[in-house]
């Protein structure tokens, strides 16, 4: 599995730099990514046509979920429901697995 530079999420540019991702698995009902953001990299507020379940492998994330501030520490999980605005920022270098279901209509992250 090859890492790919990540500069957008849902068609919007990342803030503070670039991340990287790799596709772990794809199925008819969804997909799984492994994502890495260096400290200070953030997604802008966005929403999508799928649910995302995030499991943080390492690091620390903060962001918003439907206008509320949230923090996620290594070993924690959070759900970003479809259609709900949210953002993510790496407080320190952070790596997570993100499960997306149903299969997104278009690639949600890109170079």
Would you state the pLDDT for residue 107? 75
CATH topology of domain 4-106: Jelly Rolls (2.60.120)
- pTM equals 0.93
Instruction: List the beta strands (DSSP E) in the chain.
Output: 4-6, 8-9, 12-13, 19-27, 30-37, 51-58, 60-65, 68-73, 77-80, 86-90, 94-101, 109-110
Domain ranges of the chain: 4-106
In this prediction, the residues of the chain whose per-residue pLDDT falls under 70 are 111
Tokens 């320190």, residue located: 92
What residues form DSSP beta bridges with 101?
51
Would you state the pLDDT for residue 111? 66
């Amino acid at each position: 599995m090859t890492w790919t530079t990540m500069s957008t999420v849902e068609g919007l540019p990342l803030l503070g730099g670039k991340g990287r991702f790799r596709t772990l698995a794809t199925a008819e009902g969804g997909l799984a990514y492994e994502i890495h953001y260096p400290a200070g990299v953030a997604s802008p507020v966005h929403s999508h046509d799928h649910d995302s379940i995030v499991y943080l492998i390492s690091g620390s994330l903060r962001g918003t979920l439907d206008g509320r501030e949230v923090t996620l520490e290594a070993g924690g999980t959070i759900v970003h429901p479809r259609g709900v605005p949210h953002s993510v920022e790496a407080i320190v270098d952070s790596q997570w697995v993100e499960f997306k279901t149903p299969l997104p209509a278009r690639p949600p992250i890109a170079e």
